[in-house]
Amino acid sequence: MWLAALVYFFCHLGISAGGGGDTSEEITTSTIDFALNATSTTESVAQPYFDNATKRDYTAAVGQPAYLHCRVKNLGDRAVSWIRKRDLHILTVGVHTYSSDARFAALHTDNSDEWTLRVAPAQPRDSGSYECQVSTEPKISLSFRLTVVVSKAEILSGPELFVRAGSDINLTCIARHAPDPPSFIYWYRGSNVVNYAQRGGISVETEQRTRTSRLLIARASPRDSGNYTCAPSSSDSASVVVHVVSGERPAAMQSDSQRLSPIPLLILLSIRSQLKSFLTSIMLYILLMSQHTSTNYLKYIRFLWNNYCIRRFVTR
């Protein structure tokens, strides 16, 4: 390499100094020839080595493809293999898959120094160490670590949300443990993508850095009730059942709270521990629930009843 650089240097010096004479032309070509020979000689003698800037710790989401990139310089005619350390299983040699597990494949483009192991789809059991090996004498190898994580989205307001009609539905979804920021996050209501055109006042803000998406539906009406699902590109989805409560009448519903999750609702109700309000509440709830064929309401009534009993008999 040294020699080559030096020769090139002198060669360029020769061109700029020598003008266009016949002799200098001859010298130049022969030095270039020599330079090329020198380069190729250096290359065939040099041993392969790993690019030390190589990233060796990878995280992938379960169900998604995982890639381990191994970069080898001066490979020459040697082969690059991928070995699973756990059982010393040879996964790939060159671009051929040796494993019977078809999820493993070697990716390589001609004239590149990159030999990539692809595991698709990645499973949690694929977590562990892998080795990129070059068939020199003696062998050289570089160790890689793969961690396959289960990424699950989470909607902050929990599995169920009660919202008073006229106020906003504000849903925040986070793609937790996602190895990479999701390239997109979709929102569904039932099985349909939330449709901005169908109804005004819908906005979605997705922030890749924090892996967060916020769905805001202004002035909710009972028709906005439903099962809302947040589906990030690289995580399992999460759902929340939203009940929009058209509670104009009963005092219990006239809270300033934007959303009424079941527990605050109970507390509100139990403040008035009189039988009358209790019965009103039950009727209200049955009314509400008749819109959604939910089996939850029996549980809810039992809950209310227990609450009433506690208020009535225990706290005195």
Interface ranges with ligand NAG (CB under 6 A): 30, 33-34, 37, 52, 156, 168, 170, 172, 216, 227, 229, 239, 241
**Gyration radius (Cα) of the chain, Å:** 34
| Beta carbon of residue 167, minimum distance to ligand NAG (angstroms, whole number) | 9
Q: Which is nearer to ligand NAG, 241 or 287 (CB)?
A: 241
**Which phi and psi (to 5°) does residue 17 adopt?**
-85, -35
**Which phi and psi (to 5°) does residue 107 adopt?**
-115, 135
Tokens of 129: 């160490």
- H helices within the chain, ranges in order? 2-18, 22-45, 262-271, 275-291, 296-309
Q: Which is nearer to ligand NAG, 30 or 257 (CB)?
A: 30
| Beta carbon of residue 170, minimum distance to ligand NAG (angstroms, whole number) | 4
Q: Which is nearer to ligand NAG, 261 or 307 (CB)?
A: 261
Report yes or no: 134 and 128 within 8 Å, Cβ to Cβ.
no
Q: Which is nearer to ligand NAG, 118 or 189 (CB)?
A: 189
Report yes or no: 251 and 77 within 8 Å, Cβ to Cβ.
no
| Beta carbon of residue 162, minimum distance to ligand NAG (angstroms, whole number) | 14
**Which phi and psi (to 5°) does residue 54 adopt?**
-60, 135
Report yes or no: 132 and 141 within 8 Å, Cβ to Cβ.
yes
End-to-end CA distance of the chain: 93
Distance of CA 164 to the CA centre of its chain: 33
Q: Which is nearer to ligand NAG, 227 or 257 (CB)?
A: 227
Q: Which is nearer to ligand NAG, 52 or 198 (CB)?
A: 52
Of the candidates 268, 224, 222, 263, the residue with the CA atom closest to the CA atom of residue 246: 222
Cis peptide before 138 (omega within 30 of 0): yes
Report yes or no: 83 and 106 within 8 Å, Cβ to Cβ.
no
Q: Which is nearer to ligand NAG, 63 or 250 (CB)?
A: 63
Q: Which is nearer to ligand NAG, 15 or 120 (CB)?
A: 15
Report yes or no: 118 and 109 within 8 Å, Cβ to Cβ.
no
| Measured distance CA(122)–CA(132) in Å, rounded | 18
| Beta carbon of residue 168, minimum distance to ligand NAG (angstroms, whole number) | 6
Place of tokens 């005004």: 200
